[in-house]
Chain A
Amino acid sequence: MSETNIEIQDLNLTRKDFVPGNEVRWCPGCGDYSVLANMQKTLPVMGVKKENYAFISGIGCSSRFPYYMNTYGFHSIHGRAPAIASGVKLANPELAVWIITGDGDGFSIGGNHMIHALRRNIDMNIMLFNNRIYGLTKGQYSPTSLLGAKTKSSPFGSIDRPFNPSAVALGANATFISRALDVDAKGLQESIKRAQRHKGASFIEVYQNCIIFNDGEFSDVENKATRPDNALFVVHGEPMIFGKEQDKGIIMENHHPKVVQLGDKYSEKDLLVHDETNQIITNLLLEMTFDTSNPTPFGVLRAVEAPTYDEMMIEQIKAVTKIKGEGTLEDLFYSGDVWEVK
């Protein structure tokens, strides 16, 4: 979209500038390492000064993220990162604010803050590490665990219907939604770049493998051999094509997405074309998430422009000040009926 042509100032930053000296303490093989590395690789080229990044997180494995970024950071309390980040951004609109959260933090205990942060469209970036399990508390089901998931707290299978987080984001009227895979560096970097450039609340859902408590949850798309047939990487303005041989596509049939084989019966021009500004297309892609007859969509699913809360706050302060003049304490104190005792 329009954001791709923005000229970016080279600040001579490198990945090293974003790596603090302390040791990273996620489990060996955790998907979080890849996300961290790609964040550290991408931020230096965004034209934002290092001191202007602030990473705000809640509680959970992924919420340790700010400790591993050599930027300003706040590791807060369970679920509340979007609310804390909202205050950070409103107090200092110059900052590039990132919220790091997980499926428990962001969609269970913090679900309320999540939807409201997205609804308000405060210019912040929310990165959800979705591993469909509680990791830090050692393996209970989460609000994104699938029905039947056998976990520490659901030994007979989960009877809790899951959220589709990106669909919740759409329901909250988010202006930017993308989905990425922890093992896909290119897709991650693209999502990070686009989110950072997007004005408004950006939501990135990362499918992230928990090697200890939910290993292989996303194996159909994580595995390089099976990924092409199970993942659909959408590009704005391009037809929806996937498959090892790039021979399959998505059409709309009876208002639902359907996989077709390209060849005799269908050609590229029959396929749905991705339009990240069209909510119907985004809906359709999100519908494919849990539908095993369709591939799982990744990429920028939605990007629309809308006024941001932080800008409107600044505008309102300016507008009211223009009408009333800059307030002084004298004005304030004498705004009621005043009398004098002589």
Chain B
Amino acid sequence: MAKKVIRINEATIRFAGDSGDGMQLTGTRFTEATAIVGNDLKTIPNYPSEIRAPLGTLAGVSAFQLMFGSQKVFTPGDLPDTLVAMNPAALKVHLRDLKKGGTILANSNAFTDKNLKMAGWEANPLEDGSLEGYTVFSIEMSKLVGKALENSDLTSKGIERTKNMFALGVLFWMYNRPIEPTEEWLRKKFGKNPSVAEANITAMKTGFNYGETTEIFTTSYAVEKADLPKGKYRNITGNVAVAYGLVAAAKKAGKELFLGSYPITPASEILHTLSTLRNHGVKTFQAEDEIAGIASAIGASYAGDLAVTTTSGPGMALKTEAIGLAIITELPLVIVNVQRGGPSTGMPTKMEQSDLLQAVVGRNSDARIPVLAAKDPADCFECAFEAARIAMKYMTPVILLSDGYLGQGSGPWQIPDPKTLPEIVVNHPSSADAGEDGFMPYARDENETRPWAIPGTPGLEHRIGGLEKENITGMVSQDAANHQLMTDIRARKVDNIKQDIPPSEIHGEPKGKLLVLGWGSTHGAIHVAVDRALAKGQSVSQMHLRWVSPFPSDLEEICNGFDEILIPEVNSGQLALLLKGELARKIHQLNIVRGEPFRASEIEDKINEILG
């Protein structure tokens, strides 16, 4: 019997299993195959903060979701169409999110009495009819790979571990994805251990053939290529994109890149990525703590490198005093905060946007700092590049806000031509720049930035530090008028950055009833919600802020063009608080703090509520 192929525009799939089941890897392989097919996509991992929570428990469930489509995809999808559940705990945790009528693929061998009990199922849901309303494929994955690999040299435990590749194979068949790239990847990954590679490939093919030949599956789905702009693409996570953006900025500025960092979830991949790039001249310094991470970066900046420190919220708190030092010494520095749920240790592996106020105002004294935020994984590249450019142009530390959703989520990245990336012009004074009265470390140019004199340059010997300095001369000064002047200059330097912010783009009409204003990783969900509202004929537009300090100069004018403003944020209303001060008008808020991004439908509902 020929099987039916149904064309669909988009699909959302969630892989869920025990944290030892290899769900992140399975999801990543599906993503790569999907990217190669030419669909647009977005992914999001969801894993526990314990490395290996007890096997089979609810706490130990790890998941990976992606949405892919033949049109532009802005989020990893709200509710999955298909859920892969490798054990009862995975089904228990994720069933509530599955779309009504959605598909479940379960490894029935894992639904033992013990596992069911551990996951809190009173009876086996695969058998008791409680999953009525869903399409359930209950497959003996463990048994099937066991049979397929009975002649392999792997131990029975090793064979059992290939069941994720079986599930992947079934999904590849179901969604008409090629298996060859994963085959190639497995051979490369297990190059030293060919029998493991071959066992995994066999398991994947067994899964694929299982879909193809058994009669339980009658239908597969095809998602056409997305109409993406012409060019070369690769899939990229936000953390890797940040690392690449920094390397690109360093090269375009003719600088060596220095990273001072202390490992922290969910930012560590930036450190990992940069540490592989020694042949790009990248110096990564895994410091003894968060403070040493930023302090070493400040030292490297003083000595002339493009310096960076990367962290997440609690680490940011520890770096606060040093950020003040970078502000008063007016040294270029990029500080990346991949935000997570807080306060304190909070929810390390879950996303949140709740460090906005910390970034914008969270320091002692009047200590303004430029802050920008990335909107999606690929945008992390541009934002990192821009943060570095601004830091060096204006001689200032810059905070780049990402979050766990962007950092560890992925999407296609249109690879830029390195030649077309803007050059970053950095001028260092030379010995000839020392005047008759010696070198003036706090002299000002047209942007009121001071010169970046590199130790080792004869004749420019000077001292900087955390004590207030006299403008121009850089001598220690506790003079009242000078402190007023320096505080004003430091603030003006941040405002001057407005001239580098291009006019804001509005999605939808430039004037209307409701403006949905966002920043950071809410971009995708807001975009989808606004698209749906526009399709219904509602008067709604989207504005997205890349710079949250300073705000773009056209912000107020754009806001004035709308009757109402809605700010959805994954925090308790931090941008709204800042904007209430800036705009002095009523602002509608939509705030969630559940450790997960918005669903577009939530924003859609709020839009309906406001517009009545």
Contact = CB atoms under 8 A, between A and B. Distances in A.
A joins B in a complex: yes
A22 B233 CA distance: 59
Given A67-B476, A113-B288, A330-B418, A337 B322 contact: no
Interface string B436-466: 0000000000000000001111111111111
B298 interface: yes
B93 to A, nearest CB: 30
A112 B289 contact: yes
A56 interface: yes
Given A75-B464, A87-B303, A337 B234 contact: yes
Interface of A: 22, 49-52, 54, 56, 59, 66-67, 70-77, 80, 83-92, 94-95, 112-113, 116, 313, 316-317, 320-321, 323-330, 332-334, 336-342
Contacts of B260: 83, 87
Given A77-B322, A87-B299, A49 B458 contact: yes
B298 A87 contact: yes
10 contacts: A72-B462, A77-B322, A77-B466, A87-B260, A87-B285, A87-B301, A87-B303, A113-B288, A327-B281, A328-B418
A84 B304 contact: no
A66 B463 contact: yes
B160 interface: no
Q: Size range of the interface on B?
A: 35 or more
B299 A83 contact: yes
Interface stretch (B272-280, B492-500, B522-530, B536-544): B272-280
B300 interface: yes
A341 B36 contact: no
Contacts of B302: 74, 84, 87-88, 91
Given A83-B295, A334-B415, A75 B35 contact: no
B291 A83 contact: yes
Contacts of A49: 458
A202 B416 CA distance: 47
A85 B465 CA distance: 13
A103 to B, nearest CB: 19
Contacts of A320: 278-279
Given A86-B287, A87-B298, A91-B301, 14 more contacts: A22-B475, A72-B461, A74-B463, A77-B321, A77-B324, A83-B292, A84-B298, A91-B299, A92-B455, A313-B283, A317-B281, A329-B418, A337-B36, A339-B234
A211 B228 CA distance: 74
A190 to B, nearest CB: 26
Interface stretch (B143-151, B212-220, B244-252, B566-574): B244-252
A112 B459 CA distance: 35
Contacts of B418: 328-330, 333
B32 interface: yes
B230 A113 contact: no
Contact of B295 (A59, A76, A90): A76
B303 A54 contact: yes
B232 interface: yes
Contacts of A113: 288, 291-292, 295
B181 interface: yes
B291 A80 contact: yes
| Of A56, A92, A320, most B-chain CB atoms within 10 Å | A92
Contact of A339 (B233, B288, B289, B465): B233
